[in-house]
Structures are given as structure tokens and as C-alpha cells.
Amino acid sequence: MMSQIVLPNDTNALGNLMGGVLLKWMDIASGIAAGRHSNSICVTVSVDNVSFKKPIALGEVVTLEAKVTRAFRTSMEVYIEVFTEDPRKVGKSKTNDAYYTFVALDGINGNPKEVSKIVPETDAEQEQYEGAERRREVRLILGKKMKAEDSVALKKLFDISNT
């Protein structure tokens, strides 16, 4: 978990947090989660489905909560949620969420390094863990690193036969 306060230098002409600043904070928080899981330096590979649901105003406190949802061989998917609160009021609200993908690097040559697997413990963790494979295949297909017909998890989701 990471918290920041929105200062004047972080805002646009309307007094709201600039999207790029929020993306930077999200990248940092999710990178810390990936680094802690892998015990290594991690680099961002992709960011999925960031949408700005509501403006974040000058003076609000932004809290970012990031968690590794699945580890593959050298990459990890991290789910991050963004919450805001006005320090003059009670309560917080969710403004953003996204999936980031990181690759762990060794400390010698900067080559990809194998990471420990994740063992989901709750139903919610299991759901995110299973969905990570589908999200990974979509990223690979969109990035032209996998052909749609080679998909396994997406075919299962849509019950497409392998004929």
C-alpha cells in the first residue's frame, strides 16, 4: 500500500490530478509489489484497462493497493486499486483499477529471472488467478506474440472446440 497527497504540481488546469501522474504512482506501487514477490528488480511490460472513473482533486489523499495475482515463469500480473479520500470528510472511494505486468530481472545481466508461483488462498484470489491466464493470452494476442488459434484459456472460456 502506498499513499500520496495531490499537490499543486500534480494537477491540471482544473485542479485535478493529471492522469500521467496517477499512472506513474500506479506503476511505482505495482512495481514494488512485483519486486517484493520476486526479490528482484522488475520492469513494466504492459498496463491493461486503465480508465479514469472520477477526477481526483487537489488536496485529496490517494491510496494505492497492489497485489500480485499470478506469477508465470518470469512475469507477474499485478492488480492495483486506487482509492481517494478528502481529509476534511469521512470515507474513501475507489477511482481506478488496472492490471500491470512485470518481468523480474536478475541482478547480473538484466536477464529475465524465474519467479515463485502464487498460491491463491481465498475464492477472490482464485478467481483473479484463473482470470490472469485469460488476460495474459489477450495481451499476447493483441501484441502479436500469440495467434488466437493457439489460445488455451480463451478457448475454454468461450467453449471453442479444438477442431
Give the domain ranges of the chain: 2-116, 119-157
Amino acid at position 60, single letter: E
pLDDT, one tens digit per residue, over 17-27 is 999 999 999 99
Q: Look up the CATH number of domain 2-116.
A: 3.10.129.10
- At 76-102, the pLDDT tens digits run 999 999 999 998 888 899 999 999 999
Contacts of 93 (CB under 8 A, 6+ apart): 54, 83, 84, 85
- Using a cut of 0.75, tell me whether the model's pTM lies above it: yes
pLDDT of 27-71, one tens digit each? 999 999 999 999 999 999 999 888 888 999 999 999 999 999 999
Cell numbers linked to 155: 478457448
